[in-house]
Amino acid sequence: MLTRKKIQTTVLLIFGILLLVNLISDRFFFRWDFTADQRYSLSSATKNILKSLDEPVTVTAYFSENLPPNIQQVRDDFKDLLIEYNNASNGNVVYEFINPNESQEEEIKAQKNGISPIMINVREKDQVKQQKAYMGALVQMGDKKDVIPFIQPGAAMEYALSTSIKKLSMKSKIKIALLQGNGEPSLNAMQQLRKSLSVMYDVKPITFTDTSGVPAEYKTLVIIAPADTMNPNYFKYLDEFVGRGGRLLVALNTVKGDFSKNQGEKVYTGLSKWLKKFDIDVKPNFIVDAHCSNVMVRQKQGMFVMNTPVSFPYLPIINNFADHPITKGLEAVMMPFASQISIEPKDTTISIIPIATSSNKSGVEDLPVYFNIEKQWGPIDFNISDIPVAVAVEGKLENDIPTKMVVFSDGDFVVNGEGQRAQRLQPDNISLMVNAIDWLSDDTGLIALRTKGVTSRPIDPSLEASTKTFLKYLNFLLPILLIIIYGIFRFQHKKRIKEKLKNTRYV
């Protein structure tokens, strides 16, 4: 029997436990992370960066308040992340949150610091109105500053914040050499890539001459889409560079598509021949893939001429990736006029791993190739699966000194172009190239964070319509059904307890 004293004691005990839990949680922050990519856990790369800090870092987070729940969640996630940074850095990362919407003075200050507002839709009293919102952060270390102008919902927050801190704490950037002089696109023709690399690297164009190779200060050499035949002496420079442990990235075109002639042509640079010494053979052919991008074709319909998208298998969309740091988190990369990479391992000291392949419905076409937009493609055209388009190489390539190399069978997937012909590329194209350069050049492990975040996992488009419908209704109804089953079970359980209490005789 419950007495007044027992009730008071129980209430005081519960209050004391809650108070103790609050005091402990205020001092020790922790949470369990059950996500597939551990997106709520700090990586070892971040922990290493934070432990190496020799002076405090201040993060000023500019976030508006009273936002819709999905936007408010971004603020909460970012705050939780900052708490973990503070704990992991032994207090070297301090932070504050400011609401720029509170006053015009704070709003001007946020904009001066590089945080621009965005317009979001807010529903109020059955009406939708637009509201100005701030979602960015300013990172400071001493007199150095870096801005995260917009923290996007579902984006890799840890990568943005760790990269910003790393950028401020670095004494000097790693030097990357970009080969020029053989018909390669300039750095200005790769605006997205240049912007992404500028955070961690100092990228400098270099040219080979008859008397010089790769300067000693460069750790990595990047060769993207050369178009001209290279001087034979240049391959001696490559041998010397790889022989001293230099890292090499080659994005090579062995063929190209000429839409003005509607045909494919061979591109000979000599690089493909040089790569054969490392058991890598980039074939002079075209990969065709049922999973491909479209080209716009002008078609006449009555009195009107319309642009119609038509599938073009020579523009494969690559979404088969190996479990490798370079490709972790990637979903789809469009590689126009890619070629087949044939791996012929002979040296056991060299490890060659295909990191990206075509789909299970693909094939190859040897030169001469003529493009026929109206061609009806069928299973006979896609009779090969998993054709390698990118490989990662590790081992003693020259002089028994271990090094790394990455080879792509397409050089145009990161080229925006220049002037009015410049086009924006999808983010995964850039991420693939930057990840490859990170794997070659950076030993901190930040590569694993770039694609860490919420990923899109749509239903497989190849499934039948009836299967898709079943999965959609199962997703919707299963949680409701489980709640109903739990309710019935709980009701029956309580009913049995009541019946048992009724039938109990008290002496």
Per-residue pLDDT of 106-150, as tens digits, reads 999 999 998 988 888 777 666 767 778 899 999 999 888 888 888
Residue 280 inside a domain? The answer is yes
- Smallest CA-to-CA distance from 156 within 446, 453, 428, 445 is with 453
Q: What is the rounded CA–CA span in Å between residue 105 and residue 102?
A: 9
- Judge if 163 and 178 occupy the same domain: no
Residue 458 inside a domain? The answer is no
Which residue among 115, 141, 168 closes a domain? 168
Residue 10 inside a domain? The answer is no
- Judge if 139 and 221 occupy the same domain: no
Q: What is the rounded CA–CA span in Å between residue 352 and residue 373?
A: 36
- Judge if 152 and 224 occupy the same domain: no
Residue 136 inside a domain? The answer is yes
CB distance 39 to 33 below 8 Å: yes
Which pLDDT value is given to residue 454? 46
Which residue among 168, 198, 232 closes a domain? 168
Q: What is the rounded CA–CA span in Å between residue 116 and residue 110?
A: 7
pLDDT band (50, 70, 90) for residue 71: confident
The tokens describing 25, both together, are: 């949680």
What is the mean pLDDT of the segment spanning 143-172? 82
CA-to-CA separations, 43 to 37, 202, 380, 402, in angstroms, rounded = 11, 25, 46, 27
Give me the domain span that covers residue 155. Answer: 26-168
Residue 368 inside a domain? The answer is yes
**Sign of the dihedral defined by the CA atoms of residues 99, 103, 107, 110, in that order:** negative
Residue 455 inside a domain? The answer is no
Which residue among 121, 136, 168 closes a domain? 168
Residue 346, helix vs strand vs coil: coil
CATH code (residue 179): 3.40.50
Asked if the model's pLDDT at residue 153 lies above 80, the reply is no
CB distance 215 to 206 below 8 Å: yes
Write down the mean pLDDT value for the chain. 85
- Judge if 370 and 243 occupy the same domain: yes
SS (H, E, C) 434-447: HHHHHHHHCCCCHH
Count of residues for the chain? 507
pLDDT band (50, 70, 90) for residue 163: confident
Amino acid residing at 27 = R
Q: What stretches of 142-184 adopt beta strand conformation (E)?
A: 144-148, 174-180
CB distance 177 to 218 below 8 Å: yes
Q: What is the rounded CA–CA span in Å between residue 85 and residue 157?
A: 12
- Judge if 164 and 185 occupy the same domain: no
Residue 2 inside a domain? The answer is no
- Judge if 178 and 140 occupy the same domain: no
The β-bridge partners of 201 are 174
Residue 253, helix vs strand vs coil: coil
Number of structural domains in the chain: 3
Asked if the model's pLDDT at residue 49 lies above 90, the reply is no
pLDDT band (50, 70, 90) for residue 176: very high
**Sign of the dihedral defined by the CA atoms of residues 10, 11, 14, 16, in that order:** negative
- Judge if 247 and 161 occupy the same domain: no
Which pLDDT value is given to residue 274? 96
pLDDT band (50, 70, 90) for residue 504: low
Residue 256 inside a domain? The answer is yes
Which pLDDT value is given to residue 387? 96
- Judge if 350 and 492 occupy the same domain: no
SS (H, E, C) 130-143: EEEECEEEEEEECC
- Judge if 186 and 122 occupy the same domain: no
- Judge if 348 and 478 occupy the same domain: no
- Tens-place pLDDT, residues 244-297: 999 999 999 999 998 888 899 999 999 999 999 999 999 999 999 999 999 887
- Judge if 283 and 206 occupy the same domain: yes
From the CB of residue 411, how many other CB atoms can be counted at a distance below 10 Å?
A: 27
Tell me the whole-structure pTM to 2 decimals.
0.71
- Smallest CA-to-CA distance from 50 within 141, 179, 154 is with 141
CATH code (residue 112): 3.40.30.10
- Judge if 151 and 258 occupy the same domain: no
